[in-house]
Amino acid sequence: TIRCWKEGNIVCPDDDALAVRDEFFDAVNEQTPAGARILSDDLAVRYYSLRPLAFSKKDGATFSFSNHAALLDWYQYAQIYDELWPLRDDWDAYIDAYTNFARLVEAEYLVIEQAYSQQDYYPAGLELVFSNEGYSLFAIQEITD
């Protein structure tokens, strides 16, 4: 924290919180194959774990300058993604919708920013790969009828 302040930052993350993030994103890098598409709200998957994101809300600005066709696709996904946020207070509805969105954007893995709990509901086809006290990583399996 002192180092953070010396670097001129006003808000400095807790060392314990950083350790949880570090452990998780190391696990993403080590337990997923290179090139695996991951759905996560955290850009650290892309820049720290070196894995492509299946969708990122922040990509819209880049596409607006660089790739109009990708921007049109991104916009359609962004509209669906925006419908997920109001569901965050209803875990079952949220995890169902988020998993469906992950499949829509062809993600192979899904990151949830909370620890896995056996008491929580998870949709069929999510296989726990790794969890710590702050994050969970799931492989998305195909569902066959």
Q: Is residue 75 part of a domain?
A: yes
Helix axes 68-82, 91-104, angle to 10 degrees: 160
pLDDT of residue 61: 86
As a whole number of angstroms, the distance between CA 42 and CA 20 comes to: 14
Residue 1 predicted with pLDDT over 80:
no
Q: Is residue 11 part of a domain?
A: no
Q: For the beta carbon of residue 135, count every other beta carbon within 10 angstroms.
A: 23
Residue keyed to tokens 């896995």: 116
Q: Which domain holds residue 94?
A: 16-140
Among candidate residues 45, 88, 132, 86, the one with its CA nearest the CA of residue 59 = 45
As a whole number of angstroms, the distance between CA 85 and CA 96 comes to: 13
Total count of domains within the chain: 1
pTM of the model: 0.86
Q: Is residue 126 part of a domain?
A: yes
pLDDT of residue 32: 97
Q: Per-residue pLDDT averaged across 78-95, rounded?
A: 96
CB 20 within 8 A of CB 132: yes
